[in-house]
A and B are shown apart, each in its own frame.
Chain A
Amino acid sequence: MGKIVIDPVTRIEGHLKVECVVENGEVKEARTVGNLFRGFEIILRGRDPRDAQVITQRICGVCPQSHAIAATLSLDSAFGIADKIPDNGRIIRNLIQGAHVAQDHVLHFYHLAALDYVNVADVAKYEGNDSQLNSVKDFIARGELGPFLPRYEGDYRLPPEVNQQAVAHYVKALEIRRIGHEAVSIFSGKVPHSVGVVPGGVTSTPTPDNIMAYIWKIKILQDFINNVYIPDVMAVAGAYADYAEIGVGCKNLLSYGMYDLDGSSPDYSTRKRLFKQGTVSADLKPGGLDANKIAEYVRHSWYEDSTTGLHPSQGDTKPQYGKKDAYSWTKSPRYDGKVYEVGPLARVAVTYANGDPAMKEMVDGALSALKAPASVLFSVLGRHLTRALSAKFIADSLEGWALQLKPGEPAYVEYEMPDEAMGMGLTEAARGALGHWIEIKDKKIANYQCVVPTTWNVGPMDDKGQNGPIEQALVGTKVKDEKNPFEIVRIIRSFDPCMACSIHVVTPKGRDLGQFRVV
């Protein structure tokens, strides 16, 4: 019996270690270990509630916009103005989060995932006139290939000309995602860590010139997604068809939904959203979502057992590093006691299961092009495919929304901050379901909890001994070459983990963290 330890897992956000016990070439046990703890929720306590959207964006520099949205949704609800945000404010928030998530999916496929499938070295054989490719060829000829070498070897399957084209797309995608960020900044000031989204709406105002500037940046992004990104995912799917069976996870999926199409309901769980709220399992039948059924477990996390099984609004976390049988700083969120995977796969599948016609056409079209049944969605390739389709679904909506903006009308509403209130904000980050819960006392933050996508996916075993989604996806995987465990990193990266997000928690009520001594 051997053990494969990958520490750090690179080309993800943050600090993750993975340990797999391998017997006869098959993963028998898997552990995902979160390796950094910062203590965000402690830092938030006692602060001005409005500052939550500034501070929580710093949980993650990859998806700050989604934290800003979740924080402001929770503040809007705490301040009693969830249904009073002007349409301009609601739409601009969608435009900010929309351009952001779409570019993030491009970044994930090309800059984080692709090097597991694409052989950069094939550019050395390139004979054409593409100046970008020739500059990469010169780079290879000079021989110092950091950061592209070293790498795992032995399983690059695309033909040389496809690899060459993919490298050209890698370079192009750097520019595309930059333009995506430019579009975000039109309404949000700057990216990462934007300033535009605030309780009450947004700080920026729509003008005809910024609407037009936004639309034309989005068209560039949309064109790339439709004509380059999706075809490249299909090409990878063709050459790595076995990955339609590899990395199947828990098959329970959960989405909070994203992009409010109507702001008139104060209850986010009943809002009309572009991506639907809900759950689905292997049968792809729509299931409901009741936020009261979410709880976080810590039996195998470095927190005191007394804090296990709490709903996030009551979240109370006490670090206990070195606890017996614990192995991660990440907690284990569960829905109704069961393991759920979140991410583009979940939001696409939930929207599909709820019968959204545009989503159905898109997913069915892709599956029929691959000549594959819907069950392949739950795999490594399924995650890449649904991420690309999620990008398309968003990018195709943005121009229409931008044209609904009304210059000259407000994008912000004033409010009175209550002395005491509770709030909840549910949305999706690029990587899946994101929830913020706030409790306000004396106009200050009394308690703040975030349950973020990667915590759902990368969390360790729970109190019942159920492995987290990534652990489940790893167990049973055949590893062809333990020195080059492609299968393991391809599975992990298909989830697009974001560790900075996943470990941010801690609210030791009434105790100073300095008192926790670990033997």
Chain B
Amino acid sequence: MVKELPVVYLQTAGCSGCAVSLLNVASPTIKNVLIDQIAPGVHVNLRFHPVIMAAAGEMAIEVMEDTAEQKKGEYILVVDGAVPMATDAVYGAIGERDGKPVTMIQRVTELAQDALAVIALGTCAAFGGIPAAKPNPTNAQPISKVLESAGIEKPLINIPGCPPHPDWFVGTLASVILSGLPTADDLDDLLRPKAFYGKLIHENCPRRAYFDEGKFAKKFGDEGCLYELGCKGPITYADCPLRRWNSGTNWVIGAGAPCNGCTQPEFPDQTAPFYEKLVDVDLPVIGAYWASKEEK
């Protein structure tokens, strides 16, 4: 008997980048995740996902609503996107009920209520991200805020990144399947799995030696640390330098570009301007270059 793990994947105010990133997962592949037994005797049953599901319209909405009813307390709710909470207009709706649009906030609240756990996928869902950037025209809020304002207490896991690396999501799913829901010790104070967000980009950056020596790139294409071209690696928690992206092919700094801090709650307002050097940051003093600066 194969155990079905029902998943409802809701898209709110986002761009589908999280969903596209998820398609890029290399091992297991997305086909392994959706079709095969991802672990012996366990199948991820993705019942609702607007970008890939066969059904449309009411038929699709019924699947979503039936899952909440029939699989109460069993399904994982994944939300990619922030939730517009401004009340002056319907800025985001998913499907209809009695001929009226159902707002995203209603959908998230209803589905979270009966979920086993909620995964906020991507920086918009985890922290607000781009839709919540100044002046936050639609009062876009992260999932944690939606749950809080509705008084819903559910296990919540934040998997930020714009988009998140697919391994961060599939790895988290693997851990739920193989070891159960994460404990408080497994997550950092922003509810991110420490396994993926435990270290700063800066700590594992292959250009770190340049930083310690004080050798900085002055323009794109130069050798050296990208700190002065705006790299936010020193304040950004993620394992990009080790894991690398797109099946390990490359990553941001590997392409000679500065990290823009996309896994952080500070993204984008406090990590922008993206091509300006960080200000007011305490950096560890390592190496002769920084020690000499310190003396001055």
Report A's interface with B, CB cutoff 8 A: 5-15, 17, 35-39, 42-43, 46-48, 50-51, 54-55, 58-62, 64, 107, 111-112, 115, 120, 132, 135-136, 139, 142, 144, 146-152, 171, 174-175, 177-178, 181-182, 184-196, 198, 200-205, 213, 302, 319, 321-322, 410-412, 414, 489, 500, 506, 512-514, 516-518
Contact = CB atoms under 8 A, between A and B. Distances in A.
B96 interface: yes
Interface in B54-71: 54-63
B49 interface: yes
Contacts of A514: 86, 88
Which of A15, A187, A200, A516 counts the most chain B CB atoms within 10 A? Answer: A15
A289 B132 CA distance: 37
A500 B80 CA distance: 13
A127 B91 CA distance: 50
29 contacts: A6-B57, A14-B16, A35-B92, A35-B94, A38-B140, A43-B130, A47-B273, A48-B274, A60-B15, A62-B16, A111-B23, A139-B35, A146-B6, A146-B46, A147-B34, A147-B52, A171-B35, A174-B23, A185-B250, A186-B250, A190-B251, A190-B252, A190-B255, A195-B258, A196-B255, A198-B275, A205-B256, A513-B135, A513-B137
A167 to B, nearest CB: 10
Interface string B131-163: 101110110100000000000000000000011
B257 A198 contact: yes
A500 B163 CA distance: 15
Given A8-B50, A195-B255, 16 more contacts: A6-B56, A13-B16, A15-B92, A36-B13, A43-B131, A51-B268, A61-B19, A62-B16, A111-B52, A146-B45, A148-B53, A150-B62, A178-B29, A192-B20, A196-B256, A412-B221
Of all A-B residue pairs in the complex, the 7 with the closest CB atoms, nearest first, are A61-B17, A39-B137, A189-B255, A321-B89, A195-B257, A151-B54, A190-B245
A178 B26 contact: yes
B56 A410 contact: no
B35 A136 contact: yes
B139 to A, nearest CB: 9
Contact of A189 (B34, B43, B94, B251): B251
Given A171-B31, A198-B220, A146 B48 contact: yes
Nearest to A188: B255
Contacts of B129: 58
Given A10-B53, A198-B220, A319-B89, A58 B137 contact: no
Contacts of B96: 5, 7, 17
B36 interface: yes
Nearest to A61: B17
B249 A58 contact: no
Interface string B16-52: 1111110110100111001110000001011111111
Interface in B111-130: 129-130
A139 B273 CA distance: 48
Contacts of A15: 11, 92-94
Which of A38, A47, A48, A321 counts the most chain B CB atoms within 10 A? Answer: A38
B14 interface: yes
A61 B268 contact: no
B52 A144 contact: no
B56 A185 contact: no
B175 interface: no
A216 to B, nearest CB: 12
Contact of B246 (A13, A61, A181): A181
A181 B273 contact: no
Given A149-B54, A201-B220, A412-B220, A186 B249 contact: yes
Interface string B244-272: 01110111111111101010000010001
A203 B53 contact: no
B198 interface: no
B186 interface: no
A224 B164 CA distance: 28
A58 B272 CA distance: 14
A144 B274 contact: no
Contact of A411 (B11, B51, B221, B246): B221
B104 to A, nearest CB: 8
B36 A139 contact: yes
A270 to B, nearest CB: 28
A516 B53 contact: no
A204 B226 CA distance: 13
B47 A185 contact: no
Nearest to A96: B255
A203 B138 contact: no
A16 to B, nearest CB: 10
B255 A204 contact: yes
Nearest to A92: B255
A203 B247 contact: no
Interface string B68-87: 00000000000000001010
B17 A58 contact: yes
Interface string B174-195: 0000000000000000000000
Contacts of B275: 48, 50-51, 198
B154 to A, nearest CB: 22
Contact of B4 (A144, A181, A204): A144
Contacts of A302: 89
A496 to B, nearest CB: 12
Contacts of B276: 48
Contacts of A5: 57-58, 96
Contacts of B31: 132, 171, 174-175
Contact of B52 (A11, A35, A149, A517): A11
A174 B33 CA distance: 12
Given A10-B56, A135-B35, A171-B31, A54 B268 contact: yes
